[in-house]
Amino acid sequence: MTVADRLSPVIVGCMRLLDWGLDARGLRDWIKAAVELGAHSFDHADIYGDYRVEAAFGEALALESALRDRLTIIGKCGIVLTSASRPDVAVKHYDLSRDHILRRVEGTLRDLRTDRLDLLLLHRPDPLLRPEEIAEAFARLKADGKVLAFGVSNFTPAQARYLSAALDEPLVANQVNISLENTGALFDGTLDTCRELGMVPMAWSPLGGGGIVGNDPRFADLRTALRRVGEAHGGRAPDQVALAWLMAHPAGIRPVVGTGRLDRLAGAMGAAGLRLSRQDWYTLLQAAAGREVP
């Protein structure tokens, strides 16, 4: 089974993990409960929580060594932040050089207290990237067993196609911002390129960071539509409907959800079983856009 085949239908995003208010034991129990729900894929990046999330997750994993093998862990590198912990960084920038990729994966493995990442994504396209350096880094990481598969994030169709053609390793995923708040990827070739290259599209901020299901007045009409469609499907919650809308796309979108609440994660997993009709789907698209399709 490939790494892409092993991804759970909903991926747990760890960007906000430090806000969940859990100590190491609490987080270990949270991770185990997520796995029990079937959400066994966890999305990380070295920069999350000002470079502190990976270490917090690693501390929880270290409490139960058998847990690691039940997880699919996604890591990301390539963004460099200014931070009190990085006094040498004067300006936020991107770095997809070979040495940076290799160095950051070492840091991630150390902090997560694991010997391997299931999937490494290049977090953002770096205008200064040299594909041959990325190819070298990927080959080394693969040969050393430190990363099992590779992908990208926030890459345009042209960037993904260009890099893919220059690598020996296949790119198995592109993690992009897709939601009813931001439908651009449906129409700009991003999802088509995923299908063309065999990449799994992952949707980050699939609920618009909570905005589309919270109180943001910009999404009032969309929330009404989500509620109506949910009622027509036996009382499904608006967030479930919004995730089912993503999952209905034939490219096989995996939402990367950011909730710290297990009840909401259970609801998200339940979205996989919700089958929207074509008219439901377009009703939601229309409510999101504020107009009918041309």
Ligand X SMILES: NC(=O)c1ccc[n+]([C@@H]2O[C@H](COP(=O)([O-])OP(=O)(O)OC[C@H]3O[C@@H](n4cnc5c(N)ncnc54)[C@H](OP(=O)(O)O)[C@@H]3O)[C@@H](O)[C@H]2O)c1
Nearest approach, Cβ of 187 to ligand X (angstroms)?
A: 20
What is the closest distance, in whole angstroms, from the C-beta atom of residue 154 to ligand X in the complex? Answer: 5
- Catalytic annotation, pick one of 48, 51, 162, 282: 48
270 binds ligand X (CB under 6 A): no
125 binds ligand X (CB under 6 A): no
Q: Does 206 bind ligand X (CB under 6 A)?
A: yes
Instruction: Please select the residue that binds ligand X; options are 31, 39, 41, 43, rule is CB under 6 A.
Output: 43
Kindly tell me which of 139 and 251 has the beta carbon lying closer to ligand X. Answer: 251
| Nearest-approach distance from CB 211 to ligand X, in angstroms | 8
Task: Establish if 15 lies at the interface with ligand X (CB under 6 A).
Answer: yes
d(CA 34, CA 11): 10
Of 61-69, 90-98, 136-144, 254-262, which segment contacts ligand X by CB under 6 A? 254-262
Verify binding: residue 180, ligand X, rule CB under 6 A.
no
Select 124 or 140, whichever has its Cβ closest to ligand X.
Answer: 124
Catalytic residue at 51? no
Considering only CA atoms, which of 12, 203, 45, 205 is closest in space to residue 123?
A: 45
Stretch that binds ligand X, among 91-99, 228-236, 260-268, 281-289 (CB under 6 A): 260-268
Which of 214, 273 has the CB closer to ligand X?
214
Applying CB under 6 A, among 57, 138, 150, 204 the residue interacting with ligand X is 204
* 209 lines the binding site for ligand X (CB under 6 A): yes
Q: Is 153 in the site for ligand X (CB under 6 A)?
A: yes
* Residue 28 or 264 with smaller CB distance to ligand X: 264
Q: How far is CA 258 from CA 14, 46, 85, 244, in A?
A: 7, 16, 25, 16
Contact status: 207 vs ligand X (CB under 6 A): yes
Contact status: 126 vs ligand X (CB under 6 A): no
- Please say whether the beta carbons of 129 and 95 come within 8 A: no
Among 264, 269, 274, 284, binds ligand X (CB under 6 A): 264
**Residue 30 makes contact with ligand X by CB under 6 A:** no
Sign of the Cα torsion 210, 212, 213, 219 reads positive
* Sole binder of ligand X in the list 175, 190, 193, 283 (CB under 6 A): 175
HEC states along the chain? CCHHHHCCCCEEECCCHHHHCCCHHHHHHHHHHHHHHCCCEEECCCCHHHHCHHHHHHHHHHCCHHHHHHCEEEEEECEECCECCECCCCCCEECCCHHHHHHHHHHHHHHHCCCCECEEEECCCCCCCCHHHHHHHHHHHHHCCCECCEEEECCCHHHHHHHHHHCCCCEEEEEEECCCCCCHHHHCCHHHHHHHHCCEEEEECCCHHHCCCCCCHHHHHHHHHHHHHHHHCCCCCHHHHHHHHHHCCCCCCEEEECCCCHHHHHHHHHHCCCCCCHHHHHHHHHHHHCCCCC
Least distance from ligand X to the Cβ atom of residue 98, Å: 21
Is residue 208 part of the contact set for ligand X (CB under 6 A)?
yes
Chain positions contacting ligand X, by CB under 6 A: 13-16, 43, 153-154, 175, 204-210, 213-214, 239, 256-261, 264
Please list the active-site residues.
Answer: 48
